[in-house]
Structure 1
Amino acid sequence: MAISANLKRALRLLADGGFHSGTELAESLGVSRSAICKQLHGLSELGIELSAVSGKGYKLQHPMALLSLRQIEQYLSPQADLLLNGVEIHDLIASTNSYLLEKAQQSGANGIACFAEFQSAGKGRRGRQWLSPFGSNIYLSVLWRYQSSPAMIAGLSLAVGVAVVRALNELGIVDVGLKWPNDIYWRQRKLAGILIEVSGESGGPCNAVIGLGLNCYLPPQQAQAIEQAWVDLDSIVGRHSHGLRNKLAAVLLNHIMPVVADFDDKGLSHYLAEWRDYDCMQGRAVDIYMGQQCYQGKVEGIDDQGMLMIRDQDLKLTRFASGEVSFSNS
């Protein structure tokens, strides 16, 4: 899927966040002013906030940096570049994860990274939708083929979480923590989420699609639908996170690709100590939901298999391999 070439050119002109008249846009694109109005009318459907002021023209509510393969490649490390068999950027897509799962089944591809400007059906955990306004955030999926069984790559999401924190730290974004099993937090607010989907034979080999959604800028209207504490890079580094977007995309790949490629050999044990350093749940009271059941207790970290350890009010220690965890208000 793709947006029209003219609309993309218009967005590049508007990306600086300044006012541009209809006449200026029309002349730059070689179309009529009425055609420009028609093109820009559909931007709200993509989650793009556009202002139109008489006598001034059109203006994006927030500056935008569209993804550029050339700029991303400029920041790629030699190691990541060697591990990657392709980097794709899609303007519009249903889901980067779904796209790569299908690609794996059809072609046996490996080492593919897929970015999107907009997802119409972005995936969160447990069937939730991941909000994906156009040109605002990082929507990334990586496809990797493992010779081992799906059971042998359990804990991969924890290792990828470590890679994401490393990438953010490299860019000077500190106070980042990890919330079991697959969320990246900044000062107790969710900044990013990881979703890994695995397909293949129970005895191996298997394909893993590692999905990452990271908030660079969430438009206020879109953010109203989020039911948990959240944060975006715009709030952390100031109103210029768009300038980081292509470099961030590359730095994430620089850290994620080696972790994904080496996980078969290194396993979770290689990343446990670092994950525990970043643990933002240690000692906190939480509720953990397993289906309709809710367990309450205090977090005592993760064990060597990556299971969450919860001690209840009777001092009983229980380990959880999965579950929906929220910080307790009690």
Structure 2
Amino acid sequence: MSISDQLIRLLHLLADGRFHSGTELARALDVGRSAIWKHLQALDGLGVELVGVSGKGYKLQRPLQLLDRQHILDQLGPRAEALISELEIHPAIASTNGHLMELARHTPSVGRVCLAEYQTAGKGRRGRHWVSPFGHNVYLSVLWHYQTGPGAITGLSLALGVAVVRALSRAGVQEVGLKWPNDIYWRGRKLAGILIEVSGESSGPCHAVAGLGLNLYLPERQAEPIEQAWVDLRHIMGEEVMRQRNRLVALLLNEMLPVLADFEQRTLQDFIDDWRNFDCMRGKAVNVLIGEQAFAGIVRGIDDQGLLLLEDHAGRVRAFASGEVSFRPA
């Protein structure tokens, strides 16, 4: 799906939060009133909520800050700025991860960052659809190249989880926790998710694309298909967070890029203590699903390799390298 330049211009006009008449919008875009009406309908289809009042015009129901490349770059720290080779922002894209995975087939570039206002085929774990309404959340992916094989970056998603929690803390978000292996939670509800895709030789050079989806604001209508408990930053911090989107992206990159750049040398051991401090599953009753099998037990944390430790009803502790984990009702 493509999003026209006129639609983006319309959003920039509405982003001030004030009412604009249809005539005013048509004049600004040099189009007819019927074209403005079609654009407004298109925005509604993208998940952008509008308010229309007779005699006053149209306004956004909630604040909107479109992604701005220079605004993001201006707020990066020196290390992160040096690690970025390219930062691209797409009005609409199938998937930020998918885009960088395709680029990685043709170039071994490192530090390439892809952001999008809207994803038509955003992905979560196990190929699930990631709900991606326009302009309200963070859809971010980074491409990195490693000289050693995938085995050398085992645990990278756990380390990046620590980086995301640190960034959210710098943004003023409290009570954030990590749910193994790659989810960020707040008070028992999912706030963000990490997806890492790796391609390359089993014992030689490989590339990894690290994707992050973070909820700033999820309209109820758009969130209806989500089957698990979720939360967004607007609920946690209020409306003002919607005006901090570019700053939040910069904070995330400041924390994530050094982790990606240094992971071959630092490894998971440098992050394991922080991960355990942020662990929101320890001591909780869960089910671990692997294929058609379900394992019930109490989470006893993670071991030094990042494997999930689950204690069953008989007191036996088993380590899991993968699996779908869901909390069980008390």
What TM-score do you get using the length of structure 2 for normalisation? 0.98
Q: Is 2:83 the counterpart of 1:89?
A: no
Give the equivalent residue in structure 1 for 2:257.
257
Amino acid at match of 2:319: R
Give the secondary-structure state (helix, strand or coil) at the position aligned to 1:256: helix
1:193-248 CA-partner distances (Å, limit 9, x unpaired):
00000000111210100000000000110112111111100001111221110000
> 1:257-279 deviations in whole A, cap 9, x for unaligned?
00010000000000000000000
| Alpha-carbon distance, 1:132 to partner | 0.3
Residues of 2 paired with 1:252 and 1:29: CA distance? 35
CA-to-partner distance for each residue in 1:43-70, whole Å, 9 max, x for gaps?
1221222233322211222221000001
Q: Any conservation in 2 of the 1:111–1:144 contact (CA below 8 Å)?
A: yes
Pair 1:142 & 2:149 matched: no
- 5+ unaligned residues in a row in structure 2: which ranges? none
**CA offset digits 1:98-145 (Å, max 9, x no partner):** 000000102222210100000000000001000000001000000000
Residue of structure 1 in register with 2:112 after alignment: 112
Retained in 2: the 8 A contact 1:85–1:111? yes
Instruction: Identify the residue that residue 214 of structure 1 maps to in structure 2.
Output: 214
Q: Which residue of 2 aligns with 1:13?
A: 13
| Matched residue type, 2:241 | S
Inter-partner Cα distance in structure 2 for 1:107 and 1:148: 17
Distance 1:224 1:61 in 2: 19
Q: Distance in 2 between matches of 1:308 and 1:268?
A: 14
* Identical positions, percent: 59
Separation (CA, whole Å) in 2 of partners of 1:295 and 1:41: 47
Task: Give 2:164's aligned residue.
Answer: 164
Distance in 2 between residues matched to 1:295 and 1:20, nearest whole Å: 56
Aligned to 1:289: 289
Letter of the 2:77 counterpart: S
1:76: how far off?
0.5
Deviation at 1:30, TM superposition (A): 2.1
The equivalences for 1:4-43 within 5 A come to: 4-43=4-43
Paired residue secondary structure (1:118): coil
- Counterpart of 2:242 in structure 1 is 242
Q: Secondary structure at the match of 1:37?
A: helix
Look up the match of 2:186: 186
SS in 1 for 2:133: coil
**Aligned position for 2:302:** 302
Alpha-carbon distance in 1 for matches of 2:219, 2:102:
31
Give TM-score scaled by structure 1 length.
Answer: 0.98
Report the residue type matching 1:218 in the other structure.
L
The one-letter code of the counterpart of 1:234 is R
CA RMSD of aligned residues (A): 1.1
How many Å separate the matches in 2 of 1:27 and 1:306? 58
* Aligned counterparts of 2:146 and 2:52: Cα–Cα separation in 1: 51
Partner of 2:329: 329
The residue number in structure 1 matching 2:224 is: 224
Letter aligned with residue 303 of structure 1? D
Mark the runs of 5 or more structure 1 residues left unpaired by the alignment.
Answer: none
Residue 6 of structure 1, CA deviation: 1.5
Deviation at 1:2, TM superposition (A): 4.6
**Cα separation, 2, equivalents of 1:30 and 1:219:** 31
- Partner Cα separation in structure 1 for residue 227 and residue 160 of structure 2: 25
**Stretch of structure 1 that moved more, 296-305 or 101-110:** 101-110
Aligned: 1:56 with 2:56: yes
Q: Is the contact between residue 310 and residue 319 of structure 1 (CA under 8 Å) also seen in structure 2?
A: yes
Q: Which consecutive segments of 4 or more residues in structure 1 shift more than 4 A?
A: none
SS of 2:19's equivalent in the other structure is coil
Q: Distance in 2 between matches of 1:61 and 1:287?
A: 40
Partner of residue 75, structure 1: 75
CA deviation after TM superposition for structure 1 residue 18, in Å: 2.7
- Give a deviation string over 1:52-92, Cα, whole Å, max 9, x none: 33222112222210000011011111100101101110000
Q: Which amino acid letter does the alignment assign opposite residue 3 of structure 1?
A: I
- How far, CA to CA, are the matches of 1:249 and 1:272 in structure 2? 24
Post-superposition shift, 1:304? 0.3
Q: Tell me the distance in 1 between the aligned counterparts of 2:229 and 2:18.
A: 31
SS of 2:294's equivalent in the other structure is: strand
Aligned with 2:105: secondary structure?
helix
The alignment covers a number of residue pairs equal to 330
